[in-house]
Amino acid sequence: MAYVILISALALSLAFYSSSVEGALTCESNSPLCLEARGQFAVPNECRKFANCWDSCATFSSCPGTLVFSGDKNRCDFGWNLTPSDPCYKPMMASAGGAADNFGGFAPLPPLPPLNPLFQSQSQFAPTASMSQGINQDGTMFQNTG
């Protein structure tokens, strides 16, 4: 009797599992969103959604968090990394004294190293008035001395 109950429970759980897996794997055959037989393609008017096409069969997914789908790169990315002509483009937020972090908040800028003034040392270097320093777009610091 215990075996009958166990087998019935296993059959019922297997039926439930297979129906949920089948539902997750259903696709839209010959979807017009599949520009090629295989690849990831943007869903129009949906910044976070994309079609994952396999043999022209599309399943739909969304980018995590605040990421948007880049049709040019075929992957999820930050909105400010898209081209400005892209409808999902979002410029990086910045404020005085801070830069946008990955979550849309603000983090203080790292301190810049002090300028190394060019001083005369055995007449090899002469001081210059055109020194500058700052942070490049990739976050690295620069220092120009002439």
pLDDT digits (tens, 9 = 90+) for 117-143: 554 444 455 555 556 677 777 777 767
86 pairs with which residues across the strands?
Answer: none
Beta strands 28-29 and 46-54, pairing class: unpaired
Question: Which pLDDT belongs to residue 107?
Answer: 60
The radius of gyration of the chain's CA atoms, rounded to the nearest angstrom, is: 28
**What global pTM score does this model have?**
0.46
> How many residues comprise the chain?
146
> Which residue in this structure is represented by tokens 């220092």?
143
Banded pLDDT at 10 (limits 50, 70, 90): very low
Taken in order of first residue, the domains within the chain and their CATH numbers are 25-103 (2.170.140)
CA atoms within 13 A on the CB side of 9: 6
Q: What are phi and psi of 22, to 5 degrees?
A: -60, -40
**pLDDT exceeds 90 at position 63:** yes
Write out pLDDT tens, residues 75-128. 999 999 998 888 888 887 754 444 444 455 556 666 766 665 554 444 455 555
pLDDT bin (cut points 50, 70, 90) of residue 24 is low
pLDDT band at 68 (very low <50, low <70, confident <90, very high): very high
The two tokens of residue 107 are 């983090």
- The shares of helix, strand and coil residues in the chain, as percent rounded to the nearest 5, are 20, 30, 50
